[in-house]
Amino acid sequence: MAFLIEAANRGSISTEPYEIENSLKFESDNVESLTKSQTASNRKTWTISFWFKRTKINSALQYVFEAGLSGSTLFSGPIIKGTEYWIIYDYISGSRKLAFYSTAPLNDPSAWYHMVIACDTTQSIATDRFKIYLNGVNLTAIPGHFSTAQYPDQDYESNINWSSSSLSIGKAPTASTNFNGYISDFNFIDGLMKQASDFGEFDSASGIWKPKEYTGSYGNEGYFLNFQDSSNLGADSSGNGNNFTQNNITSIDQATDTPTNTFCTINNLVDQNFATWSLTEGGTKGAYVAGYCGMVGTMAVSSGKWYWEGVTTSFSGTNYWQWGVIPIDAKQGNSVDSMGDAGTAWYSGDNAFYTSTSQSTNSPTYDTGYTSAGGYTAGDVWSISLNCDVSPYEMTFRINNSVPGTVANNTNRSVGTYTSARPVFPYIRLYPIASANTWHNFGNPFIATLSGGNTDENGYGDFKYTPPSGYYALCSKNLAEFG
């Protein structure tokens, strides 16, 4: 089941004419960014186009990119404030020259967004000098963080292309705040004001905004970052050689989650006691803090056969996990299976495989059913094969690619009463006495333990083990075919 709407791109269902192969994952906890020194060029006329997908949506300010000399002389944009608003501004020596405020939503962690920032201050009409396009729509600035929208003066020279200043992607060079998510297809056009239609188009079948290859000039100082060279993820592919320096970025940060094929991640807008988790690594790693907690994926399925993996790299004390699926209705945070427990408002039993660090059969008392095993240790790779083409659904759980021999009825066990009309999400619930770090792999891993170079039969994903025949990675291309 693919949820595709015009407001956000959850992965193009078409394979033509333009495919984006890679993106780059940025993480605030790792202070990951790309930086370069700017060279003197056209400060009046330029265009920036990029795609991005958020993975940590919280109250902290997140800077997608910034250029300038200091905290009072800079171009920032966009700066995203949780689910509330985002802003773009330009300052010279503390004096504001540009202010663009918007509440256009950027709060879907399953979606890719496309933004075009286009500037030409030589224009005589103020509103023609600076334009923002979000998923193909030309936005209008509104009052909010700034008292009024402020367009640049005619012939104003911005902080973009200002010699001797720096430009940073994924982090503000003048602050410690980073972007959390993926960035793809980053274009900078020097000396030309472009439109959204130069970089994207509306799909005729679905109506969603999708990428289109840019074929125009980049100008003298323009660049194109496609993140396809894992050995140099700051390489400029425009032909100008305007390469970026990698900061705390390595080849493992190269991603295949893109606007033309979106992968499942963890959704931090739908959670159980989520305050006890620290979600990092492109929405794939949950670091335990306290109490019990549960998380769900960003993609639901009601047909097809699906495969995913995970690993807990470190823990201490006694720990209990449940891995499997869970049904949630279309309204975020509400469950169609509420059990009436305020602490477990959207949790239901009989949907998961249960395992622990010991042979004990301890389990939360409100579970109505599970399959259990003990002896799980740090570094063991677990995997789930989910078959939604039968009624009720069937699920097979494996540890290190083998069905645990001590577990009865694990192979092709029924998953509750979930029928073909019931969408379910990937699910994990952790109840540790001490600490644990759990990584998930829906086909786009950021840990070598889960990166085995094995794909599904469509060639998608990177898994530790080869998915069983007929089982596929949870990504938008496969959802369009099987979901």
**pLDDT, mean of residues 319-327:** 75
Q: Residue 141's pLDDT band (boundaries 50, 70, 90)?
A: confident
What pLDDT does residue 275 have?
A: 52
In the listed set 236, 255, 274, which residue is the last one of a domain according to the structure? 255
Return the residue matching tokens 């010991």. 358
The rounded percent of the chain whose pLDDT value lies above 90 is 53
For residue 133, tell me if it sits in a domain: yes
Q: Is the dihedral of CA 155, 156, 161, 164 positive or negative?
A: positive
Return the residue matching tokens 């039969």. 457
The answer for residues whose C-beta is within 8 angstroms of residue 365's C-beta and 6 or more apart is none
Q: Answer whether the bond into residue 17 is a cis peptide, omega within 30°.
A: yes
Cα 411 from Cα 394, distance rounded (Å): 8
Q: Which residue has the higher pLDDT, 420 or 124?
A: 124
- Whole-prediction pTM: 0.90
Residue-averaged pLDDT of the chain: 82
| Residue 336 confidence (pLDDT) above 50 | no
Least confident of 216-230, 288-302, 462-476: 288-302
- Asked if residue 115 and residue 229 are part of one domain, the reply reads yes
Q: Which residue has the higher pLDDT, 340 or 360?
A: 360
What pLDDT does residue 368 have?
A: 38
Region of residue 345 (left: phi > 0; alpha: psi -120 to 50; beta: else): alpha
- Asked if residue 216 and residue 322 are part of one domain, the reply reads no
What pLDDT does residue 98 have?
A: 92
Least confident of 29-33, 349-353, 461-465: 349-353
**pLDDT, mean of residues 433-457:** 90
Domain limits for position 357: 266-482
Q: Residue 438's pLDDT band (boundaries 50, 70, 90)?
A: confident
What pLDDT does residue 413 have?
A: 57
Q: Which residue has the higher pLDDT, 224 or 411?
A: 224
What pLDDT does residue 147 have?
A: 67
For residue 399, tell me if it sits in a domain: yes
Q: Count how many domains the chain has.
A: 2
- Asked if residue 166 and residue 195 are part of one domain, the reply reads yes
Strand ranges, E, within 207-351: 209-211, 223-225, 245-247, 254-255, 266-272, 277-280, 285-288, 293-297, 305-315, 319-326
Q: What are phi and psi of 57, to 5 degrees?
A: -105, 105
Q: What end-to-end distance do the CA atoms of the chain give, in Å?
A: 5
In the listed set 231, 255, 279, which residue is the last one of a domain according to the structure? 255
What pLDDT does residue 97 have?
A: 93
- Asked if residue 466 and residue 372 are part of one domain, the reply reads yes
Q: Residue 360's pLDDT band (boundaries 50, 70, 90)?
A: very low
What pLDDT does residue 202 have?
A: 94
| Residue 45 confidence (pLDDT) above 90 | yes
**pLDDT, mean of residues 29-52:** 95
The rounded percent of the chain whose pLDDT value lies above 70 is 77
**pLDDT, mean of residues 338-361:** 40
Q: For residue range 242-254, list pLDDT tens digits in order.
A: 999 999 999 999 9
Task: Output the CA–CA distances (angstroms, integers) from residue 207 to 13, 116, 195, 262, 360, in the order listed.
Answer: 11, 19, 19, 17, 53
CATH number of residue 39's parent domain: 2.60.120.200
What pLDDT does residue 117 have?
A: 98
What pLDDT does residue 425 have?
A: 87
- Asked if residue 272 and residue 316 are part of one domain, the reply reads yes
- Asked if residue 223 and residue 278 are part of one domain, the reply reads no
What pLDDT does residue 84 have?
A: 87
Q: Residue 346's pLDDT band (boundaries 50, 70, 90)?
A: very low
For residue 80, tell me if it sits in a domain: yes
Q: How is residue 92 annotated by DSSP?
A: E
Q: What are phi and psi of 377, to 5 degrees?
A: -125, 160
Task: Output the CA–CA distances (angstroms, integers) from residue 407 to 200, 315, 395, 400, in the order listed.
Answer: 51, 23, 13, 14
For residue 3, tell me if it sits in a domain: no
What pLDDT does residue 333 have?
A: 43
- Asked if residue 190 and residue 122 are part of one domain, the reply reads yes
For residue 17, tell me if it sits in a domain: no
Longest alpha-carbon distance in the chain:
76
Least confident of 247-251, 255-259, 272-276, 455-459: 272-276
- Asked if residue 273 and residue 179 are part of one domain, the reply reads no
Token duo for residue 364: 């939360």
Q: Which residue has the higher pLDDT, 177 or 233?
A: 233
For residue 53, tell me if it sits in a domain: yes
For residue 72, tell me if it sits in a domain: yes
| Residue 392 confidence (pLDDT) above 80 | no
CATH number of residue 321's parent domain: 2.60.120.920
What pLDDT does residue 372 have?
A: 58
Cα 144 from Cα 382, distance rounded (Å): 48
| Residue 81 confidence (pLDDT) above 60 | yes
What pLDDT does residue 353 have?
A: 56
What pLDDT does residue 295 have?
A: 79
Q: Residue 362's pLDDT band (boundaries 50, 70, 90)?
A: very low
Which of the given ranges, 144-148, 366-370, 387-391, 412-416, has the highest pLDDT on average?
A: 387-391
- Asked if residue 139 and residue 206 are part of one domain, the reply reads yes
Q: For residue range 91-131, list pLDDT tens digits in order.
A: 999 899 999 999 999 999 999 999 999 999 999 999 999 99
Q: How is residue 372 annotated by DSSP?
A: E
The answer for residues whose C-beta is within 8 angstroms of residue 31's C-beta and 6 or more apart is 171, 176, 178, 247, 248
- Asked if residue 205 and residue 279 are part of one domain, the reply reads no
- Asked if residue 286 and residue 250 are part of one domain, the reply reads no
Q: For residue range 62-74, list pLDDT tens digits in order.
A: 999 999 887 789 9
Q: Which residue has the higher pLDDT, 296 or 327?
A: 296
What pLDDT does residue 298 have?
A: 92
Least confident of 102-111, 252-261, 458-467: 102-111
User: Within 13 Å of residue 106, how many CA atoms lie on the same side as its CB?
Assistant: 29
In the listed set 255, 274, 305, which residue is the last one of a domain according to the structure? 255
- Asked if residue 127 and residue 275 are part of one domain, the reply reads no
Length of the chain: 483
Token duo for residue 242: 């305007």
For residue 448, tell me if it sits in a domain: yes
